[in-house]
Structure 1
């Protein structure tokens, strides 16, 4: 087996090899996200739940059927509303198409020495991928931004507690933690704080030319008008609806919570396509 698609050496796979790898590791193809969870989230977004808007404000109201249509077209889930339970799918060809579009944006900002901001709500899974993309971009001349370190906010109430999340930077990649470890997050609040600080500093001279992120980090950046690459699972419809409206530049469909090593061939493919390998 090619070591690039077996999580070993960093050589870039071909498109065909990457598609097979995505399916084998369930980054795409038949994924672990249950169909019933997908449909529940689509309904919650249609009901206007801000948690599932991921920091975005849509141009119109989106009905459940419209959201399902977008997810079928952009992500590759089953378009059949009668399919209520069991597994669902992400089309690996759509994933690679989006990765290639993302590589084009990454190449342009790296070539021009632009500003890039990278953050994740899935630090356990995606931190390594984002750090590799950032390192390659800054190595080519881009400037990595790390604003608003230490910004804190309270998250949704859990029992009688109001947990606090604090923005931390690790190798240039932002994430929120609870004082003990980095945490999964859908919230847009830390990104909004980052952008507020950047807007107010140096006359806005450090405004991002590109954001690479997921969840609310991506949604809030796109809503602010920044070209944004948003990695998103099939149960996170907000970024795909944002892409359908033209607010999110690229929404990359993938299972966003597999082993970090499984993403290495995908990362190598992006960097090769961007001319940064």
Structure 2
């Protein structure tokens, strides 16, 4: 039995919340970029509100626990562990509801080296409860656009969790057709905040006449991209990821869990176990 006190201590000791590694300068930079509607920080959202830099800072102080002081410009920032645990409890409620109805679920991460095991553990719990874990558009090639240029990529799934791989050689027809990618020509899963992967996955379901998922469990562009398309979505988010919290505030993301998304992958194991426990799905 994992109690809140044990979870709190684990979160703080591993800097998942509390004194986290993400510096204040990076947080404020991302809040300013969100206010400017920088696509790299929007994660696929089209916010309805004005969301000035002041608005974003106030929201992040409320939902994530960062310092609300606009004069605090440099050095250490924080994530409130109590808010992390509260959001994990809310995530558990969503997971429990989805399991009770035997719903379909799409999993995806833009931080595969860190967060994949968390998503996979929740997904396995849902699968064991009778939910279908969807893997649409597997190995579908596409061009991923960002401020750093365009990369030829493919959507793939590892442990039924959606990830992006990059072509190390020439992609099929410039990665524009629907032919299956050659797995041997692709990199290991890469870091991305793009909403393109979830859009491709959801479009593939729609084009094949299949229903959209009852839940998307992801982070970054996976959560915001799905929520923007009207699909129920929950997501993990760091203190420099205001898009997920704005999505939650505007009702497009059901739950945003504040945590440092860059610690060792095994450190998140207690969090996924806690979510499954709170959802009544521990094994």
TM superposition score normalised by structure 1: 0.92
Give me the whole-angstrom Cα distance separating, in 2, the residues matched to 1:154 and 1:227: 24
Paired positions, count: 262
Deviating runs (4+, > 6 A) in structure 1?
none
Contact kept? 2:103, 2:214, Cα under 8 Å: yes
**Structure 1 residue runs without a partner (length 5+):** 1-11
1:91 to 51, 72, 80: 80
For residues 52-87 of structure 1, give each alpha carbon's deviation from its aligned partner in whole angstroms, at most 9, with x where no partner exists. 110111112210000000000000000001111111
Contact 1:157 1:163 in 2 (8 A): no
Tell me by how many angstroms 1:246 deviates.
Answer: 1.4
Among 213, 236, 253, the alignment partner of 1:248 is: 253
Task: State the distance in 2 between where 1:222 and 1:157 align.
Answer: 23
Residue of structure 2 in register with 1:230 after alignment: 235
How far has the Cα of 1:157 moved from its partner? Answer: 5.7
- What does residue 280 of structure 2 align with? 275
CA distance in 2, matches of 1:162, 1:54: 16
Mapping 1:21-40, distance limit 5 Å: 21-40=10-29
CA RMSD of aligned residues (A): 1.1
Mapping of 1:55-134 within 5 angstroms? Answer: 55-134=44-123
- In the alignment, is the contact (CA less than 8 A) between 2:216 and 2:231 conserved in 1? yes
> 1:19 is matched with which residue?
8
Q: In structure 1, what is the Cα distance between the partners aligned to 2:29 and 2:264?
A: 25
1:196 aligns with 2:203: yes
Using the alignment, how far apart are the partners of 1:23 and 1:84 within structure 2? 23
Shift of residue 187, structure 1, vs aligned partner:
0.4
Q: Which runs of 5+ in 2 are unaligned?
A: 167-185
Structure-2 residue corresponding to 1:186: 193
Alpha-carbon distance in structure 2 between the residues aligned to 1:52 and 1:131: 25
